[in-house]
Amino acid sequence: MASPDAVFKALADPTRREILQLLRAGPMPSGEIAARFPSAWATISRHLAVLRDAELVTTERNGSSIVYELDTTVFQEAVEHLLNWVQPRGSNAKRRS
Amino acid sequence: MASPDAVFKALADPTRREILQLLRAGPMPSGEIAARFPSAWATISRHLAVLRDAELVTTERNGSSIVYELDTTVFQEAVEHLLNWVQPRGSNAKRRS
DNA sequence: TTGGTTATTAGCTAATAAGCTAAGTAGCTA
DNA sequence: TAGCTACTTAGCTTATTAGCTAATAACCAA
């Protein structure tokens, strides 16, 4: 399981969030992803490695290309994480004036 | 409204997430927050500034102290942001083998 | 105003991370 | 095997940021 730290760090970069948005349309090989961005392929490849370490994407080799796919399970965890924070801890939590 | 970038960047630091967790119990002045962490007060103060810029917390002066309070509205936005990503874009989105 | 308390900002150092080019790895075809 | 394509890793530079101490600001009390 990926650490919350890795997940939030991965989400902190706008390029990586764009990559995730892109993958919502479906799985895509590394080269095709890189072609959509102005950065060098190597740069995108490292962003993908960060996303993979955070377990936000999974990879599968398909012949000579490596296909990236969105993994929504970690998103679910992140969402639950945030939802827990939204609910104040004490059910009767009222601020004192 | 805070940018998603500011919000995710703010959440990317473990110390800042701990501060947020702490504030779930209720509002707390800066000094009291700083006292719970090993870092210097000035360091915590800057973390608080980052959280304030991201609009994850609000501040209110109370005499000589400044009280920080969790603002859950931005959390809601962040959660919705993530939830949108979880749902694949096409309603009939099936991966092709 | 002087002093004490509370908190932020400035200025520095060290670590982290994003960007690049170039080199290396892995698979396919012949 | 060699050569080609697809992709990642290494090495470097630059920018950002977390940490510190010291200086500054804001408030209260005498």
Provide the angle, in degrees to the nearest 10, between the axes of the packed helices B4-11 and B14-23: 90
- 3-class secondary structure, A64: coil
Q: For residue A56, is pLDDT > 70?
A: yes
Q: Is B27 on the interface with A (CB under 8 A)?
A: yes
B27/A14 Cβ within 8 A: no
| Residue B65: per-residue pLDDT | 96
Averaged pLDDT for residues A2-20:
92
Handedness of CA B34, B50, B7, A67 (dihedral sign): negative
Are the C-beta atoms of residues B37 and B77 closer than 8 Å to each other? no
The strand ranges marked E within B1-97 are 28-29, 57-62, 65-70
Tell me the pLDDT tens digit for each residue of A58-82.
Answer: 999 999 999 999 998 887 777 777 7
B66 Cβ contact list (under 8 Å, min separation 6): B29, B30, B59, B60
Task: Determine what percent of chain A is predicted with pLDDT higher than 90.
Answer: 68
Chain C nucleotides covered by protein, CB below 7 Å:
4-10, 17-23, 26-28
Q: With contact defined as beta carbons under 8 Å apart, do B48 and B19 qualify?
A: yes
pLDDT at residue B78 in the model: 77
pLDDT at B88: 52
The SS3 assignment for B62 reads strand
Give the nearest nucleotide to A62, CA to C1'. Answer: C27
Residue ranges per structural domain of chain A: 4-86
Q: Which residues pair with A61 in a beta bridge?
A: A66
Q: How confident is the model at residue A31 (pLDDT cuts 50, 70, 90)?
A: very high
What pLDDT does residue A95 have?
35
pLDDT-derived band of residue A85, with 50, 70 and 90 as boundaries?
low
What does the mean pLDDT of chain A come to? 86
What is the mean predicted confidence (pLDDT) over A33-51?
A: 97
Packing angle, helices A72-86 and A4-11, rounded to 10:
100
- Please count the other Cβ atoms lying within 10 Å of the Cβ belonging to residue B26: 16
Count other Cβ atoms within 10 Å, centred on residue B31.
13
Q: Do A26 and B82 touch (CB under 8 A)?
A: no
**Which segments of chain B have a pLDDT < 50?**
89-97
Closest-CA residue of chain B to A21: B85
Answer CATH for A4-86 from 1.10.1060.10, 3.30.460.10, 3.40.50.10260, 1.10.10.10: 1.10.10.10
Q: What angle do CA A39, A12, B22 make, to 5 degrees?
A: 170
Q: Specify the DSSP class assigned to residue A52.
A: H
User: Quick check: A97 and A55 in contact, CB under 8 A?
Assistant: no
